[in-house]
Amino acid sequence: MDPSGIGNDCKNEFCIDNLIAARKSLKLSLEKSKTLGLALEKAGPRLEEINQRLPYLEAAVRPIRADKDALVAVGGHINRAVGPAAAVLKVFDAVHGLEKSLLSDPRNDLPGYLSVLKRLEEALKFLGDNCGLAIQWLEDIIEYLEDNRVADGRYLSNMKTSLKGLRELQNDGERVHLDGGLLDAALDKLENEFRRLLMEHSVPLPMSSPSLGEQACIAPSPLPVTVIQKLQAILGRLIANNRLEKCIAIYVEVRSSNVRASLKALDLDYLEISVSEFNDMQSIEGYIGQWGKHLEFAVKHLFEAEFKLCNDVFERIGLDVWMGCFAKIAAQAGILAFLQFGKTITESKKEPIKLLKLLDIFASLNKLRLDFNRLFGGAACIEIQNLTRDLIKRVIDGAAEIFWEIFVQVELQRQSPPPQDGSIPKLVSSITDYCNKLLGDDYRPILTQVLVIHQSWKHKKFQEMILVNEVSKIIKAVDLNLDTWMKAYGDTTLSCLFAMNCHWHLYKDLKGTKVGELMGDSWLKEHEQYKEYYSAVFFRESWAKLPVHLSREGLIMLSGGRANARDLVKKRLKTFNEAFDEMFRKQSGWVIPERDLREKTCQLIVQTVLPVYRSYMQTYGPLVEQDASSSKYVKYTVQGLEQMLHSLFLPRRERYGSFKGRPTGSKIDNGVDLRRTASAVA
């Protein structure tokens, strides 16, 4: 074998081996590269995670790199900040421990409830006082950590944000952020308990109308002592939490409602009446009497009790508070309506009876003067005081004005015509009765007091005799009116009847009265004499003239014959009948209101006319009886004539028919036949 060939072969083999080895090495390198690529692919996220954790790691190791003195001091700062904060957290936990007790019903154990509530208030006060301190310490340590770069900045930023929120909550003053609204809920429950205690023990006062004015002046407290003590205990806690006004509002609402319920039983609808709703004083006269009794009852019993109770419940708070509370109760319960009714009366039109009603109002107010001053004398009752003073002024001014106008009004009536029926003018009877009331024991002292006050307002000195002098002047003015009215009649007889009526009225009705005593016995006697005088003139000018028509002159039958006598009797009976009919017709419309005077007058007429008529008919009646036309001359029986005369001068309401002559055979209303034959006359 060629050595060169062998050598070539050897070289080829060596080359192939190298190639194979290179291929294997390359293959191995590719596999390693692939493995490394996979490893690098997996290492990417881990590197990212490491990259993200590096700042935290840096912050964690920062204290190691911080100043040694700063690291030593930081522990003390942290301990000082954590101490107050831990105490606050401990109290805060205690607050939430009270929640169950404070959300229960206070009525079950009021003292215990109030004790727990006080603990809550103390805890909240501690939190309010110390939360700021704890926050300040925490802010200081954060500032220290931040200045010395001892802690992570982002951590410090989060802490600063949290502390800022706490600081804002503290500064806004809302306790609800400290207790979650527990205190307000507890106070609401106490207010409800306060209302419940009041309502359950506020019962309208029973009415006893027949003896309203006779009851005791001071009413007992309407609430038990134990209830008052509970109310005071509740008030203490509510006042400590600035809820006094709410308590007063509840108290006023409940108690004023209770007073209104008590007054409702009295039927006080009349207090709302207005001036336009009544025509005259008579239409509401009864209401004024009720007003005085009802006002006295309200003041002496209802408002007196409320006054005492306000003092009992609110006495520890102060005079202004409980007086203000009472003033609101009085105003809302109805005292203003009582005063407004009195004002309405003063605004009504002026009339005599109004004076008496104004005096009644003044008497009621004067009777309650001391009570008003004591109950409503405080500054809180200024509205009630002003209305009361205004009412009293209106009453006094109105009463004095009417009193001084009475004389003027009497004089003005002098120009009016007298009654057509000769009866007593309404002015005479009303004024005399009116003046008697003014001088009576009921009104004289009141009117005197009113006039004294009114004169003092005008800076005039009151004269003791001013009242009696004015009444005397009024009565004398009535006398002058009578004289004027008498002259106004065209008929003398009617004028005498009028004078007889009036003088008898003044004598009889004023004798033994205050006015009678004032005017004196001689004045009364004078009117009695005037009555007798005018009575005599009345008879002389009227009924005394009738018997003359029944003269017996010329009726001696023996000398003249029956025919002539009959004609003369007929003529005289006809004349008598005509005169009687005319007089009866005219006077049947006249009136004598006084029964005793009327009966006496009628009896005198009967005694003047009837005996003459009876005797005449007994003697000469048979002459006419036989005549066919007898009914034209014998119109009345003696009995019928007497009935007619007794029917004279009756007031219209007492008249029951006329007894004037009727056609033959007619009967009067009571069935008595007035037509009698001469032979039947007894």
Give, in degrees to the nearest 5, the angle at Cα 279 between 277 and 284. Answer: 75
Scanning the structure block, which residue is given the tokens 């004609």?
Answer: 567
Closest CA to 656 of 640, 644, 639: 644
Per-residue pLDDT, 656: 44
Closest CA to 652 of 478, 310, 419, 464: 419
Instruction: Report, as an integer, the average pLDDT of 521-545.
Output: 95
What's the pLDDT tens digit per position in 201-236?
A: 888 876 654 445 444 344 455 788 999 999 999 998
Per-residue pLDDT, 141: 58
What's the pLDDT tens digit per position in 537-568?
A: 999 999 999 999 888 876 665 445 566 777 88
Per-residue pLDDT, 223: 85
Least confident of 76-80, 348-352, 533-537: 76-80
- Note whether 634 and 583 are within 8 A (CB): no
Determine the Cα–Cα distance for residues 610 and 547; give it in Å rounded to an integer: 9
Per-residue pLDDT, 62: 53
Per-residue pLDDT, 245: 92
In this prediction the pTM is: 0.71
Per-residue pLDDT, 643: 92
- Note whether 267 and 302 are within 8 A (CB): no
The rounded mean pLDDT for the chain is: 79
Least confident of 355-359, 369-373, 492-496, 621-625: 621-625
Please check the confidence at residue 176 and state whether its pLDDT lies above 80.
no
- Could you tell me what percent of the chain has a pLDDT over 70? 70
Q: How confident is the model at residue 462 (pLDDT cuts 50, 70, 90)?
A: confident
Q: How confident is the model at residue 327 (pLDDT cuts 50, 70, 90)?
A: very high
Least confident of 87-91, 121-125, 436-440, 620-624: 87-91
For the chain, the helix, strand and coil percentages under 3-state DSSP, each to the nearest 5: 80, 0, 20
| Long-range own/partner contacts, residues 442-449 (CB < 8 A, 24 or more apart) | 443/356, 443/359, 444/514, 446/359, 446/362, 446/363, 446/366, 447/359, 447/399, 447/403, 449/362, 449/366
Scanning the structure block, which residue is given the tokens 């700021």?
Answer: 132
- Could you tell me what percent of the chain has a pLDDT over 90? 47
Least confident of 210-219, 260-269, 374-383: 210-219
What's the pLDDT tens digit per position in 469-511?
A: 999 999 999 999 999 999 999 999 999 999 999 999 999 999 9
Please check the confidence at residue 9 and state whether its pLDDT lies above 90.
no
Determine the Cα–Cα distance for residues 500 and 469; give it in Å rounded to an integer: 27
- Note whether 439 and 448 are within 8 A (CB): no
Q: How confident is the model at residue 285 (pLDDT cuts 50, 70, 90)?
A: confident
Closest CA to 212 of 286, 273, 263, 261: 263
637-to-65, 67, 571 alpha-carbon distances in Å: 156, 154, 18
Determine the Cα–Cα distance for residues 247 and 238; give it in Å rounded to an integer: 8
- Note whether 224 and 201 are within 8 A (CB): yes
Tokens of 570: 């007929």
Instruction: Report, as an integer, the average pLDDT of 408-426.
Output: 93
Dihedral angle sign, alpha carbons of residues 171, 172, 174, 178: negative
- Note whether 271 and 290 are within 8 A (CB): no
